[in-house]
Chain A
């Protein structure tokens, strides 16, 4: 099993839709989790951090399910500007960050 796994997508949704991505991780001892957003030809930028059961920031909600070892990212009322690749990341030993393959989101008018 890979350390971090994501569905690569793409997820094609209309504006205003709600979309959710899942990310599974293998290390049950992980305590913190991150969602990054990466636009085409740009560096990843931190979207949300998750340290306990979940986190919410405006239209974005991240939830953690420790029993099943996955985190999810929910985007409500999708905007065209939300089109990007969303990367899940989990620290391993010595603070190394391991990334999933990323999930590509395309929001259309």
Chain B
């Protein structure tokens, strides 16, 4: 089965700094998404990562805060910019493989902002 590699798995960052999270899949996927899961909460979609064009953001999320890249069909990055403690969360990439309707998640990045 296909492998999704997400890194870093965890980080502790100073407020005001930025962190870039990478999601690498070992086969081509049709869709890639970025989710956030705040402590004790369910998953909230941040944006759809579009290959070769700007990401599509959900209400409440903006490109300046969460810039996303997807240069090809197997790789995407999410940057959490100018971090504050409220950004402490788990960030998850999710992909849809061709011919499969369900979504598969990376192992997540546990971010703590101090």
Question: A residues within 8 Å of B by Cβ?
Answer: 32, 34, 41-46, 49, 51, 87, 89, 91, 94-102
Could you say which residues of chain A place their CB within 8 Å of the CB of B108? 42-43
Q: State the Cβ distance, B56 to closest chain A Cβ, in Å.
A: 8
**Given that A43-B106, A94-B48, A95-B31 are contacting pairs, would A49 and B101 also be in contact in the complex, using a CB cutoff of 8 Å?**
yes
Number of interface residues of B (CB under 8 A): 22
B92 within 8 Å of A by Cβ?
Answer: yes
B25 within 8 Å of A by Cβ?
Answer: no
Cross-chain contact B33 with A102 (CB below 8 angstroms):
no
**Given that A87-B42, A99-B43 are contacting pairs, would A34 and B103 also be in contact in the complex, using a CB cutoff of 8 Å?**
yes
Q: Which of B64-85 contact A (CB under 8 A)?
A: none
Cross-chain contact B92 with A43 (CB below 8 angstroms):
yes
